[in-house]
């Protein structure tokens, strides 16, 4: 049985991941946890195949999908899931930063 653990993401340096996108991330038990910040207009150019669950701490994020799925928008106070097999990329279309808590689910990846 694992011991209770604190993951101090606020002590991790920011990584610039894409234009207007930065993250503080750490791994715990093989799972990536991240605070991700999308600047206004910031977004990822590449598609991601990893499943995620998340929660919007501030702002709004919109995910588009590489298949025929409709875009998914989540606002402050809302959780979201990006299931396996749904290649996606996020973009902040708003005028304020979007800050998310994102937890990868590699065990669900296709």
Q: How confident is the model at residue 2 (pLDDT cuts 50, 70, 90)?
A: confident
* Coil, helix or strand at residue 107: helix
In angstroms, what CA-CA distances link 29 with 4, 51, 93, 102, 106?
Answer: 12, 16, 33, 15, 11
Alpha carbons 89 and 101: distance in angstroms, whole number: 16
Token readout for 106 is: 């590699």
- pLDDT for 74 beyond 50: yes
Q: How confident is the model at residue 105 (pLDDT cuts 50, 70, 90)?
A: confident
CATH homologous superfamily, domain 12-108? Jelly Rolls (2.60.120.10)
CA 59/CA 26 separation, integer angstroms: 23
Residue 90 has pLDDT above 60, yes or no: yes
Q: What is the pLDDT averaged over residues 73-87?
A: 94
The answer on pLDDT for 85 being more than 50 is yes
pTM for the full predicted model: 0.90
């Amino acid at each position: 049985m694992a011991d209770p653990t604190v993951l101090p993401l606020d002590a991790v340096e920011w990584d610039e991941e894409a234009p207007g996108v930065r993250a503080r991330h750490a791994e715990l038990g093989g799972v990536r946890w991240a605070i991700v910040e999308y600047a206004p207009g910031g977004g990822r150019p590449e598609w991601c195949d990893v499943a995620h669950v998340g929660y919007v701490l501030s702002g709004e994020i919109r995910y588009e999908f590489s298949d025929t799925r409709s875009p998914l928008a989540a606002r402050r106070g809302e959780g979201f899931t990006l299931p396996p097999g749904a290649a996606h990329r996020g973009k902040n279309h708003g005028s304020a930063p979007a800050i998310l808590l994102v937890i990868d689910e590699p065990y669900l990846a296709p």
